[in-house]
C-alpha cells in the first residue's frame, strides 16, 4: 500500500442465504462476492467489469455499506486516519457517508419525481447538516454549474429533463458534498452514444479538478478502457484478473478476459466477430458454482486440474495478477489497435 491509497478492500465477502420453507431454514448461500481484495489510489479510477450476475454491483454496494457485508475489511484512508468501514456502526457510518457517493445507472428511476432539482441536489448537504440557507443555495448552484446545468433549471422536476441531463443532476447530487470516493454503477450505460461521451468527459474533468477517486462499474469494455487506470475482472463473485488498463487489454492473462475482449463488436466492418469459436455457455448459477476454477466449463484451455483446484489470484507480471493455473504459460490474445 502506498501513501496515496484511498480505499483498500481486503477479503470482502457477501453471502446471501438461500432460505426454504415456512421456517426460512437456510439451505445454502449465494456467494455474490467471495474474498475480493483491491485498492484504489487517490485520484485514480478502478474499472470493475464482468457479466451480469458476476457480483459487481453487490461489491460496489458493499463498499459503500449500502448493504452489510459478511466478512472482510474496507479500509478508508483519509486525512491521515484509517477507518475500517466494516466495523462502523450504522450511526458512525451515516456520518462517514459524506466522503462517498454513488452515481446510478438509470437516471429515470434514481431521481425522485416529486422533488425539484434543487431538493435533489441539496439533499446530501441537508442530511449531513453541512449547509443551510444561503450557503446551501450557493453549494447547489456551484454543483449545477460544475455539471453544466443551467441554473434556472433548479426549480424544475426531473421529468422535464432528458436522460443525459438527468445523469448530470445525479452527478451534481453526488458532488455537492465534496466526496472523496464515487462509485459509478453503470453510470453511462443507459445514455445515447453522443451523450455518453459528454458524461464521460465530465466525469474525467471533475476527477482532475477535485482529485476524485472512482470505482467505475460497467459492462462496456470500451468505456472501461477509456476511463480506468486499472481494471479488475469479476466472475461469479471472484476477481479473476486485475491489472493496469493498458496491460490488461494488450495482454490479458486470464482466458475469461480474453473471451470478453474477443466478444466486443468493433465499429469496423473489417474486424467482424469471428464466425466460429468465441465463448460458449452462460454464467453459472452462483448458488451452485462449478468445482475448481469457476470458469472451467466455458474455458477453451481447461485441463484436469481446473476441474479440481480453484486457482488463487497471483501476480504473474508486475502489478498484473490473474487467477488461472496456466496464467504464466498461456499466450492470450488482447486487443490490437
Partner 1 sequence: MSDVLLEVEDLRAYFELDEGTLKAVNGISFTIRKNRTLGIVGESGCGKSVTAQSIMRITPKRNSAISGKIMLHHGSSSVDVLQLDEDGDEMRDLRGREIAMIFQEPMTAFSPVHTIGNQIMEALFVHGEKDRGAARARVVALLEEVGIPAPERRIDEYSFQLSGGMRQRSMIAMAIALNPRLLIADEPTTALDVTIQSQILRLMKRLQRENGMAIMFITHDLGVIASMADDVAVMYLGKIVEYGSARQIFKDPKHPYTRGLLRSIPKFGATEGAHLATIKGTVPVPLDPPDACPFANRCDDYIAGKCDARMPEAVTVAPGHSVNCVLYE
Q: Which residues bind partner 1 (CB under 8 A)?
A: 51-52, 162-165, 192-198, 200-201, 204, 219-223, 225-226, 245-246, 249, 259-260, 262-273, 275-276, 278-280, 282-283, 335-337
From 8, 48, 11, select the one nearest 215 (Cα to Cα). Answer: 48
Length of the chain as a residue count: 337
**Cβ nearer to partner 1, comparing 146 with 335:** 335
d(CA 111, CA 157) in angstroms, rounded, equals 9
Task: For the CB of residue 296, give the shortest distance to partner 1 in the complex, in Å.
Answer: 16
Strand order in the sheet with 81-84: 25-41, 5-20, 71-78, 81-84
**Cβ nearer to partner 1, comparing 244 with 310:** 244
Q: Are 255 and 324 in contact (CB under 8 A)?
A: yes
**Cβ nearer to partner 1, comparing 297 with 310:** 297
Grid coordinates representing 165?
441531463
d(CA 146, CA 171) in angstroms, rounded, equals 9
Task: For the CB of residue 224, give the shortest distance to partner 1 in the complex, in Å.
Answer: 9
Task: For the CB of residue 33, give the shortest distance to partner 1 in the complex, in Å.
Answer: 18
Task: For the CB of residue 337, give the shortest distance to partner 1 in the complex, in Å.
Answer: 4
CA dihedral 258, 261, 263, 267 (to 10 degrees): -150
**Cβ nearer to partner 1, comparing 145 with 192:** 192
**Cβ nearer to partner 1, comparing 107 with 124:** 107
d(CA 48, CA 217) in angstroms, rounded, equals 5
**Cβ nearer to partner 1, comparing 82 with 201:** 201
Task: For the CB of residue 37, give the shortest distance to partner 1 in the complex, in Å.
Answer: 25
Task: For the CB of residue 285, give the shortest distance to partner 1 in the complex, in Å.
Answer: 9
* Residue carrying the nine cell digits 474455458: 299
Contacts of 25 (CB under 8 A, 6+ apart): 19
Amino acid at each position: 500500500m502506498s501513501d496515496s491509497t484511498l480505499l483498500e478492500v481486503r477479503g470482502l465477502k457477501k453471502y446471501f442465504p438461500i432460505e426454504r420453507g415456512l421456517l426460512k431454514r437456510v439451505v445454502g448461500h449465494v456467494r455474490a462476492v467471495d474474498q475480493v481484495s483491491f485498492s484504489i489510489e487517490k485520484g485514480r479510477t478502478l474499472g470493475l467489469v464482468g457479466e451480469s450476475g458476476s457480483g459487481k454491483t453487490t461489491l460496489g454496494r458493499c463498499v459503500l455499506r449500502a448493504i452489510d457485508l459478511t466478512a472482510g475489511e474496507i479500509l478508508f484512508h483519509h486525512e491521515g486516519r484509517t477507518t475500517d468501514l466494516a466495523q462502523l456502526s450504522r450511526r458512525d457510518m451515516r456520518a462517514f457517508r459524506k466522503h462517498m457517493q454513488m452515481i446510478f445507472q438509470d437516471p429515470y428511476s434514481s431521481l425522485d419525481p416529486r422533488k425539484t432539482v434543487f431538493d435533489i441536489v441539496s439533499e446530501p448537504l441537508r442530511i449531513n447538516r453541512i449547509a443551510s440557507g444561503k450557503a446551501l443555495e450557493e453549494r447547489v448552484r456551484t454543483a449545477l454549474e460544475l455539471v453544466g446545468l443551467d441554473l434556472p433549471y433548479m426549480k424544475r422536476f426531473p421529468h422535464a429533463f432528458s436522460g443525459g441531463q438527468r445523469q448530470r443532476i445525479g452527478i451534481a447530487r453526488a458532488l455537492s458534498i465534496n466526496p472523496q470516493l464515487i462509485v459509478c454503477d453503470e453510470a453511462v450505460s443507459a445514455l445515447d452514444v453522443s451523450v455518453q461521451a459528454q458524461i464521460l468527459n465530465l466525469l474525467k474533468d471533475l476527477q482532475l479538478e477535485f482529485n476524485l477517486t472512482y470505482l467505475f462499474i460497467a459492462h462496456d469494455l470500451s468505456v472501461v478502457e477509456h476511463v480506468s487506470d486499472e481494471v479488475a475482472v469479476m466472475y461469479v463473485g471472484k476477481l479473476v484478473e486485475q491489472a493496469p488498463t493498458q496491460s490488461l487489454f494488450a495482454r490479458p492473462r486470464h482466458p475469461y478476459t480474453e473471451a470478453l475482449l474477443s466478444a466486443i463488436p468493433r465499429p469496423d466492418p473489417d474486424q467482424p466477430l469471428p464466425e466460429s469459436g468465441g465463448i460458449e455457455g452462460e454464467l453459472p448459477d452462483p448458488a451452485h458454482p462449478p468445482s475448481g476454477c469457476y470458469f472451467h466449463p466455458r474455458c477453451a484451455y481447461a485441463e484436469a486440474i481446473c476441474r479440481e483446484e480453484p486457482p488463487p489470484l497471483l501476480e504473474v507480471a508486475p502489478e498484473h495478477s490473474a487467477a488461472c493455473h496456466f496464467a504464466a504459460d498461456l499466450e492470450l490474445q488482447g486487443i490490437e489497435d
